[in-house]
Structure 1
Amino acid sequence: MRSRRLFAVSLGLLTVVTTACSGTAESDASVTSSALTMSFGDFVSKAELTLPSGDRPAPLVVLVGGSGPEDLNADDASDGATSRGHLFADVARSLADEGFAALRYNKHYVNGLGDIDPRFGTELTMSQLVDDVHSAVNAVANDPRIDPRWVYLYGWSEGTTVAAAAATGIPNLRGIILQGVVGIPWREGLIAQWERVVRPYLRNFAVDGSVGAAELSRAWHGDGGVVAHELIGVLGDDVSSERTVVNPTFDPDGNGRIDLDNELPTAAVRFVDEQLAGGVFRLYGAPSALPDVTAQATALRDLPVLTLHGENDSNVSVDAATRLDRALAANGSRDHTLRTYPRSGHSLSEASDLQHDPIGPIRPEPLIDLGRWLRDHESR
């Protein structure tokens, strides 16, 4: 559920080329990667299978990306944000160190970082994303380096709803890991970003409770995190320059200023509703949206579930993770674990508060907890 993404049946394994592992895996020659291509019906996706050392077939973890045009490293292909960390590359390396194979892939209609098929903004559906998970699992099911009896899904953000929906179609699924879980309805979460993040951040720049072009420009150039930064970009045109113009959608009285208490809350709700109806949030508007994961709790009650959530997650509140955990318990789940992390944001990177969540490199603690949980369940 990343608002920074503001822009407009498997055919099997086609190509496999063994390479040295990229990213953080370069320092350990015992961890290898295979470059793959997989058919997602009308689109061929580039993928990478990271493998642990040893000759034993490895259990598989399939990584399901978040919102926007993400590449296989979970970088956002819409802005080339390579400095923010490569979440899935780091997770894959950590999994390989623990003896697990990790499969990650470019999202449907994403060719690579900054290379996006135009159909991404007009034709992509969430049901396609669910089918893609099944295709990814099937693509490596016959690989002798994979133990197909042990499959896990790891979803991040939007990918938590996709992974949850895909779970029932994977016979040998042994568990699901949910990071930054969308455990509340889409509309509620998108509106909450304005209330939890944007308004508090803008108060640091406001004059008499409102912001105009100069204040918006200063806020955009400030030290806010990804959600604060990019939603401020919605409030005005050319906010990165001295030519900033206040967006009239958020300035109904036309005085060139946005009142943080009397104008912004109502305008933000209107903006979210418009975007859900057919704008940049169209995937999350009825009838195309998948239910949030809490609404899918009944289908997950017989599956081990690990939820990892930062307490300073600016995209979706930690309350969403708590809501899901309670729903799992209420639905009879006997194996659900919730881990929350102070001073951690949506990518489980260091985040001092909600307004300064950078979507940066994942911290060590969640990776340790992930490895421990997987080893514990493999031994059962």
Structure 2
Amino acid sequence: MLIFILTGALAVSAQAEITLEAYTDEIFGLESVVPETWTEVSPGLYVRSAFENDPTWIAQQAAPVPANTALNALLPQMGLTEAPEPAGEREANGLTWTLYETEVSIPVHASMDLALASFGGRTFLVALNAVPDERDALYEAVFLPAVDALRPWAGPEATDLPYAQEEVQIENGDVTLAGTLTLPPGDGPHPAVVLVSGSGPQDRDESLAPVSSIRPFRLIADALTRNGIAVLRYDDRGTAESTGDYNTATLHDFASDAQAAIDYLMSRDDIDPEQVGILGHSEGGLVAAMLAAGDTDLAFLIALAGPAVGGHELLEVQNRRLMETAGASEEQIEGQLEFLRQAFELVNVQDWGALETLLEDTVRDQIEDLPESQRAVLGDVDAYVEQVLETQMETFRSDWFASFLAYDPVEDWQSVTIPVLAIFGGLDVQVDAEQNVPPLEAALAVAENPDVTIVTIPNANHLFQEAITGGVQEYGMLEPDFTDELLPTIIDWLAERVQVATE
């Protein structure tokens, strides 16, 4: 999930002398330093607030994408249409940083220094936004010390694991997927499962920075392997250590990658080819349905928040639920839904000019509805609108978005006859349980599937954390772990359907 957050912070405290303090960011997986009196207003983003509307902040973040992808994603946020020329390089802590200097106007005119370094399939970022007159002093006192101090942090290493971990590579045409296979003790052959991630570029742990420090697939792999089931998880194509281009991939490309992972498992002597299944989270549930509908060799299917309706329907309810938890009025919600309906029609006919006009009109109307204090934070409104247009149009025009809107999973679910465990979160605002459970039940009934288990965990959100509202804004405030029910439900269900190898 590529989400660098660089703007939108408001001042909250005053700054005198600069004293740096060390810190560890578990969400982005890094260690560095930051001015001790600057305030973290969102993950990895610290503001100074020395005076009213002070634009000075520093961001230190990471994402599982190549450096050029990260830089291109940042350009709209900086109000730029092309990347600035590198200003130099710097070596520190085994990282090679590329340094950039530029001027930005969002939300106000300021100097920005940017440093990018790649390591272990991730790109690390340090960005300093400052008043031009203060840039040189803050560059020396804050920016360079942060660059020199930053180092990757993988979290506390588990010791004495009761299973083996093997780094693997999976070939799928011109794409090489990098992954981790965890194997229970003994020679096997073991039952096994392939984990397929949700939307957005995800690493093998399904890391969700800056949203949360939870790593769902690492938790699932650990739990299942401790219970005798081998688990293969991999970086999405074009993400972390996998090759390929994520940005040009479609839903069907991701299904092809998952099939390659399944084929890889079935080719191994220590894996039982008759006991290989698939577990998909969110969009990964769509991939699971695609593959299970056409592959009777799979032994089982587990869908965590797996959609059972088409993209249009899913996104309408998703937007309503997201806006409700964010406190939007019914008028605002209906306005957004009407925009989506019109936008989807224009995407279907690829009328990009009309779509851009619709998007610009909608964004400007939304800005007009903001209180004056919030409009002031945006700075140059025209520049802000251009930023939004560029980012949103890139998504709307992507091959992935077209494939997502066009795919209706009902037909595939109607062909799935292998054992199915589908788990939903009762507070999930991204894949609504009430919307998706009934059509899933109906589709599997058409399939005459004799082994279907559908569970809704009442207080679980989309990540299956114990939630309060289910809103995305609270993901990072919750414990980075699952509800008590999730893993036992999966483990107990599998125990009744697979034969674990004896040591």
The two structures have a TM-score, normalised by structure 2, of 0.54
In structure 2, the partner of 1:377 is 497
- 2:4 & 2:431 partners in 1: Cα distance? 14
Match of 1:314 among 406, 418, 429: 429
Query: How far is the alpha carbon of 1:98 from its aligned partner?
Result: 1.3
Task: Decide whether the 8 Å contact of 1:65 with 1:156 is kept in 2.
Answer: yes
1:105 equivalent to 2:252? Answer no
Query: How far is the alpha carbon of 1:81 from its aligned partner?
Result: 3.5
In structure 2, the partner of 1:189 is 314
Q: Could you say if the C-alpha distance between residues 281 and 349 of structure 1 is closer, same or farther in structure 2, counting changes exceeding 3 Å? A: farther
Task: Decide whether the 8 Å contact of 1:311 with 1:318 is kept in 2.
Answer: yes
Q: 1:26 is paired with a residue of what secondary structure?
A: coil
In structure 1, the partner of 2:213 is 84
- 2:450 & 2:298 partners in 1: Cα distance? 16
Query: How far is the alpha carbon of 1:142 from its aligned partner?
Result: 3.0
Q: 1:306 is paired with a residue of what secondary structure?
A: strand
Query: How far is the alpha carbon of 1:91 from its aligned partner?
Result: 0.4
- Higher RCO by CA contacts (8 Å cutoff, separation 6 or greater): 1
Query: How far is the alpha carbon of 1:318 from its aligned partner?
Result: 0.4
Q: Could you say if the C-alpha distance between residues 209 and 126 of structure 1 is closer, same or farther in structure 2, counting changes exceeding 3 Å? A: closer
In structure 2, the partner of 1:353 is 469
In structure 2, the partner of 1:62 is 194
Larger displacement relative to structure 2 (48-57 or 85-94): 48-57
In structure 2, the partner of 1:304 is 419
- 2:225 & 2:274 partners in 1: Cα distance? 17
- Structure 1 residues 136-188: Cα deviation after superposition (integer angstroms, max 9, x where no partner): 12223232221112111001111111111122454531110000111111111
Q: Within 5 A, what are the aligned runs for 1:93-132?
A: 93-112=222-241, 119-121=245-247, 123-132=248-257
Q: 1:93 is paired with a residue of what secondary structure?
A: helix
Task: Decide whether the 8 Å contact of 1:69 with 1:116 is kept in 2.
Answer: no
Task: Decide whether the 8 Å contact of 1:25 with 1:93 is kept in 2.
Answer: no
Q: 2:198 is paired with a residue of what secondary structure?
A: coil
Q: Could you say if the C-alpha distance between residues 171 and 53 of structure 1 is closer, same or farther in structure 2, counting changes exceeding 3 Å? A: same
Unaligned runs of 5+ in 1: 9-21, 212-246, 260-270
- 1:100 & 1:24 partners in 2: Cα distance? 24
- 1:157 & 1:210 partners in 2: Cα distance? 26
1:285 equivalent to 2:402? Answer yes
- 1:24 & 1:154 partners in 2: Cα distance? 26
Q: 2:326 is paired with a residue of what secondary structure?
A: helix
Q: Within 5 A, what are the aligned runs for 1:124-163?
A: 124-163=249-288
Task: Decide whether the 8 Å contact of 2:460 with 2:470 is kept in 1.
Answer: no
Q: Could you say if the C-alpha distance between residues 292 and 99 of structure 1 is closer, same or farther in structure 2, counting changes exceeding 3 Å? A: farther
1:326 equivalent to 2:451? Answer no
- 2:2 & 2:204 partners in 1: Cα distance? 19
Q: 1:67 is paired with a residue of what secondary structure?
A: coil
Task: Decide whether the 8 Å contact of 1:59 with 1:147 is kept in 2.
Answer: yes
Q: 1:352 is paired with a residue of what secondary structure?
A: coil
Q: Within 5 A, what are the aligned runs for 1:216-365?
A: 249-251=361-363, 253=365, 256-257=368-369, 279=396, 282-286=399-403, 291-300=407-416, 302-319=417-434, 320-355=436-471, 358=475, 360-365=480-485
Query: How far is the alpha carbon of 1:363 from its aligned partner?
Result: 2.2
Q: 2:368 is paired with a residue of what secondary structure?
A: coil
Q: Could you say if the C-alpha distance between residues 194 and 305 of structure 1 is closer, same or farther in structure 2, counting changes exceeding 3 Å? A: same
Structure 1 vs Structure 2: percent identity of aligned residues? 25
Match of 2:166 among 25, 28, 34: 34
- 2:449 & 2:324 partners in 1: Cα distance? 38
Query: How far is the alpha carbon of 1:257 from its aligned partner?
Result: 1.1
- 1:49 & 1:256 partners in 2: Cα distance? 52
Q: Could you say if the C-alpha distance between residues 152 and 258 of structure 1 is closer, same or farther in structure 2, counting changes exceeding 3 Å? A: same
Write the letter of the residue equivalent to 2:429.
Answer: S
Query: How far is the alpha carbon of 1:68 from its aligned partner?
Result: 0.4
In structure 2, the partner of 1:44 is 176
Query: How far is the alpha carbon of 1:3 from its aligned partner?
Result: 11
- 1:178 & 1:303 partners in 2: Cα distance? 13
Q: Could you say if the C-alpha distance between residues 85 and 278 of structure 1 is closer, same or farther in structure 2, counting changes exceeding 3 Å? A: closer
- 1:336 & 1:95 partners in 2: Cα distance? 20
Q: Could you say if the C-alpha distance between residues 39 and 312 of structure 1 is closer, same or farther in structure 2, counting changes exceeding 3 Å? A: same
Match of 1:177 among 302, 305, 308: 302
In structure 1, the partner of 2:86 is none
Query: How far is the alpha carbon of 1:298 from its aligned partner?
Result: 1.7
Task: Decide whether the 8 Å contact of 1:32 with 1:51 is kept in 2.
Answer: yes
Write the letter of the residue equivalent to 2:482.
Answer: I
Query: How far is the alpha carbon of 1:256 from its aligned partner?
Result: 1.8
Query: How far is the alpha carbon of 1:202 from its aligned partner?
Result: 3.2
Q: Could you say if the C-alpha distance between residues 353 and 37 of structure 1 is closer, same or farther in structure 2, counting changes exceeding 3 Å? A: same
- Structure 1 residues 306-350: Cα deviation after superposition (integer angstroms, max 9, x where no partner): 001100112110021332123212432211100110110111111
Task: Decide whether the 8 Å contact of 1:156 with 1:181 is kept in 2.
Answer: yes
Task: Decide whether the 8 Å contact of 2:220 with 2:487 is kept in 1.
Answer: yes
Query: How far is the alpha carbon of 1:295 from its aligned partner?
Result: 3.3
Write the letter of the residue equivalent to 2:323.
Answer: V
Unaligned runs of 5+ in 2: 6-71, 74-153, 334-358, 372-387
Query: What is the root-mean-square deviation in Å for CA atoms of aligned residues?
Result: 3.6
Q: Could you say if the C-alpha distance between residues 132 and 276 of structure 1 is closer, same or farther in structure 2, counting changes exceeding 3 Å? A: farther
- 1:379 & 1:363 partners in 2: Cα distance? 26
- 2:257 & 2:406 partners in 1: Cα distance? 14
Write the letter of the residue equivalent to 1:41.
Answer: G
- 1:167 & 1:290 partners in 2: Cα distance? 19
Task: Decide whether the 8 Å contact of 1:36 with 1:49 is kept in 2.
Answer: yes
Write the letter of the residue equivalent to 2:490.
Answer: L
